[in-house]
Amino acid sequence: MAARKFIHDFVVRKNIRLNPRHFVLELTPPEKLPAIFPGQFVQVLVEDTGSTFLRRPFSIHFIDHSSNLLKLMIQIKGEGTRKLSRLMEGDRINLIYPLGNSFILESISPVLLIGGGCGVAPLLFLAQQFNLRDIRPTILIGGKTKKDLLDVEEYMKLGDVLISTEDGSDGEKGLVTEHSILKTGISAFNKIYTCGPESMMKKIAEITGKAGVDCEVSLENTMACGFGVCLCCVTPTVHGNERVCVEGPVFNTKELRW
């Protein structure tokens, strides 16, 4: 039986600008948050725009049950996300949640989390859940420049952080998929978790496949409904075409026809 979904108006507690293109919304619901798992996402209603007719999907960045707080990390891409970036403390925003499946947590360390750009978003919540299991993950974060690295200080609280920037302004120089840990130390990990551009995840799937290391990816296919009706987010798998918003967004790379 599918887990229960909720539609609630959340109150904006903070809107934290990370850089000119990214921000984090801290939100509280009208009642206690239900069980939510790392990798799941929400569908956000964007009101009062002339072109944003469908809800927008965002990974759940972090959950703090003690303060009943949910965080979303958002990249400004168009009119809808630009509208969300202007939300202020006390404003309300409507969410359908929690949607999709979740990462399967490895019970034996070490584990490696890899995020490129805004793909780091679901990995903070994932790292938190590993901490609750007395596992401190290694977290590899990539960006074009140092200014494109997102929320690094928060990840450092939960894991051992490695950095990769394309221009060499922080950490190792090069693409995140070219970091030395993926060349020399990949076989030391029991499992890899990643989210980011599809080309990045495909390369990591290739690397982990050759090394024989289990790997889960969180796909970012375009979604309209978020609960499996519109079929616009399907992806080919070994089980046939599957809906990223229902059977995903998390898939083991062995299941994907990449």
Whether 192 shows a pLDDT value over 70: the answer reads yes
Neighbours of 141 (CB within 10 A): 30
User: pLDDT > 90: what percent of the chain?
Assistant: 88
Distance CA 95, CA 72 (A): 11
Ranges for all domains in the chain classified under CATH 3.40.50.80: 111-218
Contact status, residue 127 vs residue 155, Cβ threshold 8 Å: yes
| 111-218 is a CATH 3.90.1200.10 domain | no
Whether 51 shows a pLDDT value over 80: the answer reads no
- pTM for this one? 0.95
| pLDDT at res. 150 | 94
| pLDDT at res. 258 | 87
Give CA separation, 209 vs 60, 111, 182, 204, 218, in Å.
Answer: 27, 16, 12, 8, 17
Q: Regarding beta strands 191-195 and 111-116, do their DSSP bridges make them parallel or antiparallel, or are they unpaired?
A: parallel
Distance CA 120, CA 208 (A): 19
Q: What is the mean pLDDT of residues 52-69?
A: 94
Distance CA 21, CA 75 (A): 6
- The pLDDT tens digits for 102-117 are 999 988 889 999 999 8
* Of residues 121, 157, 125, the one with CA closest to residue 141: 121
Note the CATH number of domain 6-99.
Answer: 2.40.30.10
Ranges for all domains in the chain classified under CATH 2.40.30.10: 6-99
- Average pLDDT of the chain to the nearest whole number: 95
Report the run of H or E that residue 252 belongs to, with start and end: strand 250-252
